Amino acid sequence: MTTKNIIILTGAGISAESGIKTFRDAGGLWEDHPVEQVATPEGYAADPALVQRFYNLRRAALKDVKPNAAHIALATLQSEMIARGGDVMIVTQNVDDLHARGGAQNVVHMHGELKRVFCTACDHHMDCDDDISVETTCPACKTIGTTRPDIVWFGEIPYHMDAIERAIKTCDLFVSIGTSGAVYPAAGFVQIASHYGAKTLELNLEPSQGSYHFDETRLGKAGSIVPAWVEEILA
């Protein structure tokens, strides 16, 4: 069977060689902070100023990083497959913008984006390139102090789940890249894909927690193994 519809799920590992730290590798800390402090609604309620500062720094740091060979190879795969009548949906758990800057189209950010914020009073979502603080005024409802990072924290519902699950059920190849397989629901996508008849492939530095669910696992750095795999698919 020729591969026509591919779903790619990416995680922090694909951006590691661009200089953005992953999560699990650092022992459950995110840039030296416990996950509960900076990636839960409870952490935000306890100290909104600290959490806003944390994401302000992550957002500002995007200016110092560039997409790597893996991001660029996936963008090439996407445009080539579309030109050949197929489709490639890139679903990322990452909150950085490196897929888009590598040339990918319509990236699905299931865990939100560093360069987006929203107002908890009126639910107005907006692009954001600068810092926010507990003094920021929502441009839509004018409330002060209700603007938070548009990041899906632990305990919150990921974005675009209906569209992602629909696409997974009809793809013929599901590929997971640079993710530890520890965070659900993304960690369960491979089982849905398999159940509906797709082939499944994992590209990661080490076997993920759900590695045994994949038909094939290739180990190595994303910057090397992703371009090699893309070349193979397009050959």
Give the residue numbers marked as catalytic: 111
> Which of 93, 136, 176, 200 forms a contact with ligand NAD (CB under 6 A)?
93
- The runs of H, that is alpha helices, within the chain are 13-16, 35-38, 41-46, 48-61, 69-83, 98-101, 161-170, 189-195, 222-234
Contact status: 167 vs ligand NAD (CB under 6 A): no
**Strand (E) or helix (H) holding 135:** none
- Separation between Cα atoms, residue 12 and residue 150, nearest integer Å: 17
| Binding-residue pattern over the window 193 to 222 for ligand NAD, x denoting contact by CB under 6 A | -----------xxx-x------------xx
Contact status: 68 vs ligand NAD (CB under 6 A): no
Pairing of the two strands 87-92 and 216-219? unpaired
Beta carbon of residue 34, minimum distance to ligand NAD (angstroms, whole number): 13
Sign of CA dihedral 159, 163, 166, 172: negative
- Separation between Cα atoms, residue 137 and residue 159, nearest integer Å: 25
Beta carbon of residue 135, minimum distance to ligand NAD (angstroms, whole number): 26
Q: Which stretch binds ligand NAD (CB under 6 A): 12-20, 117-125, 131-139, 166-174?
A: 12-20
Q: State the CB neighbour count (10 A cutoff) for residue 41.
A: 14
Q: Which stretch binds ligand NAD (CB under 6 A): 100-108, 163-171, 173-181, 188-196?
A: 173-181
- The footprint of ligand NAD (CB under 6 A) covers 11-13, 15-17, 20, 22-25, 30, 93-96, 111, 178-180, 182-183, 204-206, 208, 221-222
